[in-house]
Amino acid sequence: MNKDLLGLKGVSRAAIGAILDRAAHYKKVIVSGKKKLTDCAGKSVFLLFYENSTRTSSSFDHAAKILGANSINLSVKNSSVNKGETLIDTGITLAAMGADIMVIRHQASGTPKLLADNVTSSVINAGDGSNEHPTQALLDMLTMRERFGRLKDLKIAIIGDVKHSRVARSNIWGLKTMGAEVTLCAPETLKPAGIEAFGVRVEDKIEDAARGADVIMALRMQLERQDSGLIPSVAEYSAFYGINKRVISLANKNAIVMHPGPVNRGVEIASEVMTMPECFIAGQVTNGLAVRMALIKILGNKEDIGL
């Protein structure tokens, strides 16, 4: 049994299915309006966000509290990390306080694994560099499964900055395992080296990726990285890779638009699309709460789901 969730690469279909089933259970609880359970009473969840977050950090915090766990949000800016304490020593310190789960986001790929290798607490990766963001992909898969009743053979077009995207990587690994058909589409400069190693279809034109898709997933344009000249201009990126009504019209009937957030309105997605019924971004956020409740319950109680 694995005590951690560090990524979806190598996670079995059965384990992903078990997490999604549990999340579907908690989704019903959320929809019912119930906000106080005892499923994880007495457990402690520590949140270590070394990188900015709105959705992931607040939904883990909310999820822990709904389940009756103690949630401790470490203010990294004010922590002893700034006095030179190492990540491992920070982890050992929190473990000594009885942390059952540590949720970590870090700008450096591999940091959650380093932490997990050095503490007995369970570690959940909340996004590491350009490596993985497994809870985002799980909430994305829950959203797709709710809409279509299955993941197998669904056609998913992932559009945008694949090179820097941990969301894309976790979705590729998870969706492939679940039998979905993934297509990537990105400007040449935003394709990772060796993109063929993902074992998925790659298209250069957004029209070819969107045609016949069930899901069009836009990736966040990482504007903070564009000083390095990877795209000629944001306006040109939007003209060639932005999701608009015309692009959606090429997709399958009942197709949906997804985005992990935060959205750069008018860049990855036209503002007019944000209010269309096909746009499922708010639903993704609700499902994020359900997925994080499921993981806190499973890992906090050391349930063996074959991770």
DSSP string, 91-108: HHHHHHTT-SEEEEEESS
Smallest separation (angstroms) from ligand CP to the CB of 72: 18
Rounded Cα gap, residues 279 and 146, in angstroms? 14
Does position 136 bind ligand CP by CB under 6 A?
yes
- For position 260 contacting ligand CP by CB under 6 A, the verdict is yes
Give yes or no for a cis peptide into 262 (omega within 30° of 0): yes
Q: Which stretch binds ligand CP (CB under 6 A): 47-55, 140-148, 169-177, 193-201?
A: 47-55
Contact window for ligand CP (CB under 6 A) among 1-9, 96-104, 260-268, 296-304: 260-268
**Residue 109 CA neighbour count, 13 Å, CB half:** 11
Angle between helices 13-32 and 166-177 (to 10 degrees): 110
The conformation of residue 192, written as its DSSP 8-state character, comes to P
Select from 9, 17, 39, 53 the one that contacts ligand CP (CB under 6 A): 53
At its nearest, how many Å lie between ligand CP and the CB of residue 260?
A: 4
Question: Does the footprint of ligand CP cover residue 127 (CB under 6 A)?
Answer: yes
Regarding 179 and contact with ligand CP (CB under 6 A), the answer is: no
Q: Which of 42, 179, 262, 306 binds ligand CP (CB under 6 A)?
A: 262
Q: Which one of the spans 10-18, 30-38, 50-58, 197-205 is the region binding ligand CP (CB under 6 A)?
A: 50-58
Q: Which residues contact 89 (CB under 8 A, 6 or more apart)?
A: none
Look up residue 198 and give its DSSP letter.
G
Total residues at interface with ligand CP (CB under 6 A): 9
Measuring CA to CA, which residue among 283, 290, 281 is closest to residue 28? 290
User: What is the smallest separation between the CB atom of 53 and ligand CP, expressed in angstroms?
Assistant: 3
What dihedral do alpha carbons 59, 61, 63, 69 form, nearest 10°? Answer: 170
Please select the residue that binds ligand CP; options are 22, 27, 43, 55, rule is CB under 6 A: 55
170 counts as binding ligand CP under rule CB under 6 A? no
Return the number of the residue (57 or 183) whose C-beta is nearest ligand CP: 57
Q: Please tell me whether residue 222 binds ligand CP under the rule CB under 6 A.
A: no
Burial category of 213 from C-beta neighbours within 10 Å (exposed 0-12, middle 13-18, buried 19 and up): buried
Determine which residue in the list 56, 71, 125, 130 makes contact with ligand CP, applying CB under 6 A. Answer: 56
- Between 24 and 285, whose beta carbon lies closer to ligand CP? 285
Tell me how far, at minimum, the Cβ of 220 lies from ligand CP, in Å.
Answer: 8
Q: Which is nearer to ligand CP, 7 or 260 (CB)?
A: 260
Beta bridge partners of 158: 184, 217
Please identify which residue in 17, 261, 266, 283 interacts with ligand CP, judged by CB under 6 A.
261
Residue 262 CB, shortest distance to ligand CP, in Å, is 6
Cα 272 to Cα 73, 156, 222, 245, distances in angstroms: 36, 22, 21, 8
Element housing 30 (H / E): helix 13-32
Q: Which stretch binds ligand CP (CB under 6 A): 64-72, 80-88, 243-251, 255-263?
A: 255-263
Stretch that binds ligand CP, among 51-59, 149-157, 203-211, 243-251 (CB under 6 A): 51-59
> Would you report the helix, strand and coil content of the chain in percent, each value rounded to 5?
45, 15, 40
CA distance 158 to 175: 11
Interface with ligand CP (CB under 6 A) = 53-56, 127, 136, 260-262
